[in-house]
Structure 1
Amino acid sequence: MADQQKKKAQQSLRRRQIEKLRKLMLSLPPFCFDYFIGIESTTTLLTRINYAYDLRVFFDYLLKDIPYFQDKDMQALTVKDLEAITLADLEMYLDYLNYYEKDEHEHENQERGKARKLASLRSFFKYYYRTQQISSNIVSLMVTPKIRDKAIIRLEPDEVARLLDSVETGTVLTDKQKQYHRYTKVRDVAILTVFLGTGIRISECTGLNISDIDFHNRCFKIIRKGGKEAIIYFGDEVNDALTHYLAQRREITTLPGHEDALFLSIQKRRMSNRSIQELVKKYASASTPLKKITPHKLRSTYGTSLYRETGDIYLVADVLGHSDVNTTRRHYAAIAEDQRRSAARAVVLRQSAHEQDGGSKMELDHNQDNSNKKKGED
């Protein structure tokens, strides 16, 4: 029964994503439909949705800022219009991405965001060039923006304790928030403890079901990015937090279709990614105001702690679900550097003069004791 509910929830999510993609595709030039069909077998649904968002930004830019396109309609564009795009147009597009307005909202992109949008264009143009619908691939001449590695934002042990204390006591909350805290405290402690104690992603957290948890083996089953299943093991603190929460959770009558969902909202339905993001922000902004803590930063906190304890980058990559260990190595390079510095100081080639004097004195005393002992025996 639980497996059927989980399958039903996954099917419901997939349907919503398909509807979202179709809606986005309708806002793009009709010829783009071929592209999304062409990459369907090699990309996930979520990747195609992100590509569609990025392409919408690109075509909006063309119609707004590039003279060739300014008198054209989005729905009238054809694949041959892609050949009118110049290298200068693409370079101006990267500059446009620094700041632009859409639907009365302001948008900004750093190098990482620009690199992702350029990657979407690479895939787009590569498809039409490969299928011989355009004669050249202008995007292949573009240089990807250099992404500067940023320091990992994570919580230190005292900050972790302070965050969890703030959830349990509710002292950092406003009067209005405290009215709900009495109902959600146990749930909120469980959510933050799961993040900090397992390093799972926010989508993996919201997708958890009661039937996924195996208390006997101290583990639960999650669905990774790409739809792969994984088993995540947890320790005493996560076990205690989940046990405490489930005693309360089983007393709740949910809305139809949410019976097996682990973490429920006040409305008695499965919590969304957005609601958990807001939950983390609510407590973290008050307990650690100098750090912008998100669910992903809690994941980084766990990864950092695990790497410091084990020094095993492959284990960290496996537990966090990184498909490429180089991704993990890049993120935790600073910690590895600290460990290498410590290792360099651990090996002593020659004792200092003070240590040598002390050692010589100890050796002299030891020899004197042996000499006295021998005389006594004589």
Structure 2
Amino acid sequence: MGKDSRYYAELKKNKLSQINDIKKDLPVYTHQFIDSCVLKYQINTALAYAKDVSLFFDFLKCRNPQCSGVQIKNIPLNILSALNAEDINEFQKYMVMNDGGSGHMVSNRTLARKMATLRNFFGYMADKGFIPEDPTLKADKNRKYEENDIKRLDVDEAKRLIKAVEETKAKTKRGSARSKNTAKRDLAIVILLLNLGIRVSECAGLDLNDVNFEDNTLRIVRKGGKEAILYINEKIRNTLRDYIKNERPLLTSDPKEEALFISLKNNRLSVRSIEDMLKKYGEGANLIERVHPHKLRRTFGTRLYNSSGDIYMVADVLGHKDVNTTVKHYAAVDEEHRRSVANLDLFGEE
């Protein structure tokens, strides 16, 4: 069914419901901005914007004396109109030191995203005449976050992870015992993520009829809501076929169930469950760092890039609109390629 499946319809409905719940606790004058986000952006982005606006009003309630004893939804517009650059700087310090009340220090990346929301919000409010000027324009620019090395598995770690799944190795005996009931499913997911680099949300959203064994293709719904057809290799095809034929019927007997990957509760396997499953097997494989779906996606991106040398192909396969995203986050040059540079005589005799 792709993007028209019941799963994606329910997902969007749920996100819209969350946005509406957030709006109920915010002043009415913020609703127009949030509604515009729903129209302009993907639903996940709109929800993130709504949460960030809500967080800023939590800050006002906590730190502005004029908001003491006032419900957030009743904070008057003149409070917003009176804000200046120093107030925005205070919010940044509040986030860096306290992460909006969570007690944890927020990362530079997270702060940059939240500040992007505030700039959009206050820019919108000023453009529409709600407030006289945008207080974020003269606020301090937060420090650009530095990218760490791309977190990925090396070949040995990937093999150890696959072996842990095949042998249903978990940290606890209970975890290993439960894994035996979903061993084929779990292996199919790990092989799929490692060999195709799809996002965990794309994996969870797969329906049974998205798999085409005749054409060796897989239909997925990308982050932006567009459908894409990807070609699967023999390893993916074999593990998927084994799971669909021999294990999926044991997890659900409902002919109306559309989901490809089924949980032990006989319904669609969730994103969180896939994340927990990978963490479990990563521990079973004695991998030092936690195994997260995005690490497998980056592993695929790096392996594909080092094999092909074609960054544009990697960007296309990963579904990136901007090749710079691929360069920055998904395509590291491995040590072998770095060493090979030393053997090149770029200006030697022809």
The equivalent of 1:162 in structure 2 is 160
Query: Are the counterparts in 2 of residues 261 and 270 from structure 1 also a CA contact under 8 Å?
Result: yes
Say which SS state the counterpart of residue 141 (structure 1) adopts.
coil
Say which SS state the counterpart of residue 305 (structure 1) adopts.
helix
The equivalent of 1:374 in structure 2 is none
Query: Are the counterparts in 1 of residues 305 and 331 from structure 2 also a CA contact under 8 Å?
Result: no
The equivalent of 2:185 in structure 1 is 187
Alignment of 1:100-139 (within 5 A): 100=98, 106-139=103-136
- Do the aligned partners of residues 124 and 173 (structure 1) sit closer, same or farther apart at CA in structure 2, a change above 3 Å counting? same
Say which SS state the counterpart of residue 39 (structure 1) adopts.
helix
Q: Identify the match of residue 60 of structure 2 among 59, 62, 65.
A: 62
Q: What's the % identity of the aligned pairs?
A: 34
**Deviation digits for residues 267-298 of structure 1 (CA, Å, limit 9, x no counterpart):** 11001111111011111133243222200111
- Do the aligned partners of residues 80 and 337 (structure 1) sit closer, same or farther apart at CA in structure 2, a change above 3 Å counting? farther
The equivalent of 1:18 in structure 2 is 16
Deviation at 1:72, TM superposition (A): 3.1
- Do the aligned partners of residues 216 and 15 (structure 1) sit closer, same or farther apart at CA in structure 2, a change above 3 Å counting? same
Max radius of gyration: which structure?
Answer: 1
Amino acid of the structure 2 residue aligned with 1:168 = E
Query: Are the counterparts in 2 of residues 208 and 222 from structure 1 also a CA contact under 8 Å?
Result: yes
Query: Are the counterparts in 1 of residues 3 and 225 from structure 2 also a CA contact under 8 Å?
Result: no
Deviation at 1:206, TM superposition (A): 0.3
Say which SS state the counterpart of residue 318 (structure 1) adopts.
helix
Runs of 4+ deviating beyond 4 Å: 255-258, 336-341, 348-351
In structure 2, C-alpha distance between the alignment counterparts of 1:289 and 1:57, rounded to whole Å: 36
Q: Say how many residue pairs are matched.
A: 348
Structure 1: runs of 5 or more not aligned = 352-378
- Do the aligned partners of residues 253 and 342 (structure 1) sit closer, same or farther apart at CA in structure 2, a change above 3 Å counting? closer
Deviation at 1:110, TM superposition (A): 0.3
Deviates more, 1:255-264 or 1:22-31: 255-264
Q: Identify the match of residue 34 of structure 2 among 25, 33, 36.
A: 36
In structure 2, C-alpha distance between the alignment counterparts of 1:350 and 1:45, rounded to whole Å: 56
Say which SS state the counterpart of residue 220 (structure 1) adopts.
strand
Q: Identify the match of residue 269 of structure 1 among 242, 267, 270.
A: 267
The equivalent of 1:214 in structure 2 is 212
In structure 1, C-alpha distance between the alignment counterparts of 2:331 and 2:164, rounded to whole Å: 31
**Deviation digits for residues 237-292 of structure 1 (CA, Å, limit 9, x no counterpart):** 11111111111245246386961210000011001111111011111133243222
Structure 2: runs of 5 or more not aligned = none
In structure 1, C-alpha distance between the alignment counterparts of 2:156 and 2:52, rounded to whole Å: 40
Amino acid of the structure 2 residue aligned with 1:271 = L
Deviation at 1:16, TM superposition (A): 1.2
In structure 2, C-alpha distance between the alignment counterparts of 1:336 and 1:178, rounded to whole Å: 34
The equivalent of 2:223 in structure 1 is 225
The reply on whether 1:76 has 2:74 as its aligned counterpart is yes
The equivalent of 1:376 in structure 2 is none
Say which SS state the counterpart of residue 183 (structure 2) adopts.
helix
- Do the aligned partners of residues 5 and 36 (structure 1) sit closer, same or farther apart at CA in structure 2, a change above 3 Å counting? closer
Query: Are the counterparts in 1 of residues 3 and 221 from structure 2 also a CA contact under 8 Å?
Result: no
Deviation at 1:333, TM superposition (A): 6.4
RMSD across aligned positions (CA): 2.5
Say which SS state the counterpart of residue 333 (structure 2) adopts.
helix
In structure 2, C-alpha distance between the alignment counterparts of 1:285 and 1:97, rounded to whole Å: 32
The equivalent of 2:94 in structure 1 is 96
In structure 2, C-alpha distance between the alignment counterparts of 1:138 and 1:164, rounded to whole Å: 52
Q: Identify the match of residue 199 of structure 2 among 194, 198, 201.
A: 201
In structure 2, C-alpha distance between the alignment counterparts of 1:16 and 1:241, rounded to whole Å: 32
- Do the aligned partners of residues 7 and 294 (structure 1) sit closer, same or farther apart at CA in structure 2, a change above 3 Å counting? same
- Do the aligned partners of residues 91 and 152 (structure 1) sit closer, same or farther apart at CA in structure 2, a change above 3 Å counting? same
Query: Are the counterparts in 2 of residues 129 and 135 from structure 1 also a CA contact under 8 Å?
Result: yes
Deviation at 1:10, TM superposition (A): 2.1
In structure 2, C-alpha distance between the alignment counterparts of 1:125 and 1:261, rounded to whole Å: 42
Amino acid of the structure 1 residue aligned with 2:314 = V
- Do the aligned partners of residues 168 and 135 (structure 1) sit closer, same or farther apart at CA in structure 2, a change above 3 Å counting? same
Deviation at 1:108, TM superposition (A): 3.6
